[in-house]
Chains A and B, each alone.
Chain A
Amino acid sequence: MKKSWRFYRFRNSFRFRLYFLFTGLIALLTAAFTSFYVVAEIKSYRSTLEREGRLLATVLAQNARLPLFAENQEALSLLAQGTARYPSVLFVSVSDKDGRNLAAVGDDRKLEQGGIEMSVPVTSPGQVLSPEAVLLGHKRVDEEQVIGRVHLHLDPSTAKERLNKLVAAALAIAVLFWIVVSLLSYQLLKRVTSSFNRLLGGIEEIGSGKLSARVELNGNDELERAATAINAMAASLELRELENLSLQEELLKAMRLEVQEEKKRVMARLIHTNKMTSLGLLLSSMAHEINNPNAAIRFSGHNIGKIWSDVVPLLDGVLREEGEFYLGGVPYQAAREALAQNAVNIVENSERIARVVQGLRDYGAGDGGNQRPTLDINSTVSAALTVLACQMKHGVQLKTSLGSDLPSMSGRQQQIEQVLINLILNAMQALPNGKGEVLLSTRYDKGAEEVVVEVRDTGVGISPEAIDRLFEPFFSTKLDKGGSGLGLYISQYIVAEHGGRLKFSSQSGQGTVAQVILPVEPKSA
């Protein structure tokens, strides 16, 4: 795998491609030149043979001039034999101008296909005049007279052998040349491309993230300029990297601080929630502890009332009989009514305590299974007001306007009560300096078959930025005043569970209107 990868890299390297192209080009050029040379030789071998034959025939014709003129057949035969000794000559003949064969050497039937037949005229010497013309001072003229012919048959096989050797030698030289040039070019390219490789290695090193690496190249060529540019780029990147690292560290520090602050806030909320849970448990415990003596008080009140009703006729008799007398420093006439009223007050307040305690216990118990198939909104409002009675401050004017035609509806009174308590508390807390008016009203929207509970205050209102985040958990504008940021989140959840919706409309500085809209018949979820 490693070897194949190395081969793949080598095959795709610039050096290999350049070497491949160069050697390929050299091979093509060498092949082209060799082919051209061979083709030219093939073409020229025949002309060379013809030229050689013509030369031989011309020499023979020159030498045979006088013997042919003298019709000396012996001399002509000797000359023809001398010419026939040449390897490429198959047949030689000399004939006079009438075509008579005066000398012949060789076998003219051996002329093979592709053989060359040559015929050269034998001429009398040109520019030679007769004695008479010479004496008359004639100028020499170039007029040759044909006195015979020399015939030559040439065998091209020897030339072919020579040509084959030549082609083989040319191919061998071409291959040798190619090998030598390829080796030399490889060494040359190795030297030339080493700069490329160093440049590439540097770029790869920088690309792998080692921005401190630099490309070391000497010279003043394009590569050196490229290396300088890459080094400058790497230096710039290194600087940016350092800046980024610095910024990241600062960011991490900032994030750590923010997380710590957020953690503190969350922990505060958790502590607050834990407190609330503990408060719930405390309320349950307190309800239990209060209810026992309260029951005794109520029982005592009842007993006092009963006893007083039984005692009054007796004391009336005494009055009638004895006249005015005092009970506990109070004249009987005044004490008679006051005591009866006190007994009633004891019972009523005890019951009130019981209701308050029950309300606190129910609030702390949460979904305690206190489900009522029917929900009376007005009594739920009253219960909420009862729970909040002790929270009322002197500057708060709490007004109620309860609708009388509210239909009965199903729902969990305790949960709705919790919602209303949250809304009323928010309204009271929104009043500037704790002074203002809070109007609590209920009504029935017949058209929509919905019951609407509205809590309107004259407080500071809600900013547009905050009104969109009212239902976010842990969002509160009063975290510093003990707000958990969960009240409206839970309230919205409860109302939604009842198939209704919780709406807020407010303008900054002009108070807020919170509406709990509950359907008479809960919609199927």
Chain B
Amino acid sequence: MGILKPLLTALFLLVPLQAAAYDILVLQSLREKGYDEAVKGARRECRASMRTIVLSDYAEADLTRIVREEHPRMVIAVGDRALEVADNLRGLPVLYMMALNPKPRQNVTGISMLLDPARYLGVFNSLGARRVGVVFDPKRSGAYLKRAQSAARRSGIDLVEREVRSPKETPAMLESLRGRVDALWMIPDLTAVSPASTEAYFLFSQGEAVPVVTFADVYLSMGGAVALGIDRFDIGRQLGEMAQRVLDGTPVEELSPQYPRRAVSKSNEGVLRRLKAMAVSGAQ
């Protein structure tokens, strides 16, 4: 009797417990503050139970087995890699956010990382720029630029496009825009905007006295004039609302991908003032 009690206790501790059931499997590409903010926003709007798996914590996570055993009702992919992994999970609805290059698939929807081009065009309008130069990689940002082009036409803005296939081509393409544009649009295209070529935008801006409208406020300190950035927490909240609707029974197919509803606008007044002064002196 004295030996039986410890044996029963050890057996109880060693037997794996059946995992508790949950509604949403959150796949996060890596442990990232930006991703954490977005997930926090999603949890704020969606009260469903969630399990989060950070992919960078595993060499190779067997998500198929997890989904089979744990039966989540949907997957939220945070980041491009998570979206890529989630694409392989057939049969489950996938909502994505914080992915730079999502590809339209069936049963997949989410919140884009790029703002609506119309918002940028509004900024160009307010700056009085009619000819806006933009450098992009068609493979990465072709679809976005197509939408931007159509919106520009509606706004009466001439979007002067320059395609690049390699980051090395960016300076030359920018050189080709000299004298042809009133403003420069810097989009988050990994080919068009690389760490080595970033300053070419601002050198161009300085040389041509045209403002650079960019997608993050960090570029304002490098010479950007206006930054129209995203709010990661609000993107999470936006996705959380979408997930709640899916859990409430709305089919995923009925939910089209959305641009972030909130944009954070900042400007470098000093740059704007100088560019204005340069434009006035140039006109005289």
**Contacts from A to B (Cβ < 8 Å):** 65-67, 69-72, 124-125, 128-132, 134-138, 140, 145, 147
Contact = CB atoms under 8 A, between A and B. Distances in A.
Interchain residue pairs A-B with the least CB separation, the first 8 = A136-B34, A131-B188, A70-B171, A134-B216, A124-B196, A128-B195, A69-B196, A137-B34
B190 A69 contact: no
Contacts of A69: 167-168, 171, 196-197
Contacts of B163: none
Interface in B19-58: 32-35, 37
B171 A132 contact: no
Contacts of B169: 70
Contacts of B200: 66
A523 to B, nearest CB: 144
A315 B187 CA distance: 217
12 contacts: A66-B199, A70-B168, A70-B197, A128-B198, A131-B215, A132-B190, A134-B188, A135-B98, A136-B34, A136-B35, A137-B232, A138-B34
B196 A135 contact: no
B89 interface: no
B196 A131 contact: no
Contacts of A131: 100, 187-190, 193, 215-216
Nearest to A137: B34
Contact of A130 (B34, B190, B229): B190
B215 A135 contact: yes
B277 interface: no
Interface in B183-230: 187-190, 193-200, 203, 215-216, 218-219, 222, 229-230
A115 B168 CA distance: 36
A125 B189 CA distance: 18
A136 B222 contact: no
B94 interface: no
A124 B167 CA distance: 13
B113 interface: yes
Contacts of A128: 195, 198-199, 222
B218 A129 contact: yes
B196 A65 contact: yes
B170 interface: yes
B200 to A, nearest CB: 5
A131 B167 CA distance: 13
Nearest to B114: A135
Contacts of B198: 125, 128
Contacts, number: 80
B34 A66 contact: no
A66 B188 contact: no
A132 B216 CA distance: 10
Given A65-B196, A135-B215, A135-B216, 4 more contacts: A72-B171, A125-B198, A128-B222, A136-B33
A134 B200 CA distance: 17
B172 interface: yes
Chain A binding surface SS class: loop
A125 B171 CA distance: 14
Contact of B199 (A125, A134, A135, A136): A125
B195 A125 contact: yes
B15 to A, nearest CB: 41
Contacts of B189: 131
Nearest to B79: A136
Interface string B260-276: 00000000000000000
Contacts of A66: 171, 196-197, 199-200, 203
Contacts of A67: 171
Nearest to A71: B168
Nearest to A126: B195
A145 B230 CA distance: 28
A87 to B, nearest CB: 29
A147 B32 CA distance: 28
Of the candidates B167, B189, B194, the one having the most CB atoms from chain A within 10 angstroms of its own CB is B194
A128 B203 CA distance: 14
B113 A135 contact: yes
A134 B195 contact: no
Contacts of B190: 130-132
A134 B215 contact: yes
A67 B200 CA distance: 10
A147 B172 contact: no
B3 to A, nearest CB: 57
Nearest to A62: B199
Given A70-B168, A70-B171, A125-B198, A135 B188 contact: yes
Contacts of B196: 65-66, 69, 124-125, 145, 147
A130 B32 contact: no
B33 A137 contact: yes
Contact of B170 (A70, A130, A135, A145): A70
Nearest to A144: B195
Interface in B132-162: none
B13 to A, nearest CB: 41
B172 A130 contact: no
Contacts of A132: 80, 100, 188, 190
A129 B100 CA distance: 15
A482 to B, nearest CB: 146
Given A136-B33, A137-B37, A130 B195 contact: yes
A135 B195 contact: no
Contacts of A129: 195, 218
A511 B190 CA distance: 161
A72 B195 contact: no
Nearest to A67: B171
B218 A134 contact: yes
B82 to A, nearest CB: 13
A125 B197 CA distance: 9
A65 B113 contact: no
Nearest to B168: A70
A130 to B, nearest CB: 6
Contacts of B170: 70
B179 to A, nearest CB: 18
Contacts of A130: 190, 193-195
B96 to A, nearest CB: 14
A147 B194 CA distance: 13
Contact of B172 (A70, A125, A134, A145): A70
Contacts of A70: 168-172, 197
B57 to A, nearest CB: 18
A145 B195 CA distance: 10
A492 to B, nearest CB: 140
Contacts of A72: 171-172
Nearest to A123: B196
Nearest to B101: A132
B199 A65 contact: yes
Of the candidates A67, A70, A124, the one having the most CB atoms from chain B within 10 angstroms of its own CB is A70
A200 B33 CA distance: 96
Given A70-B168, A136-B32, A124 B195 contact: yes
A132 B114 CA distance: 11
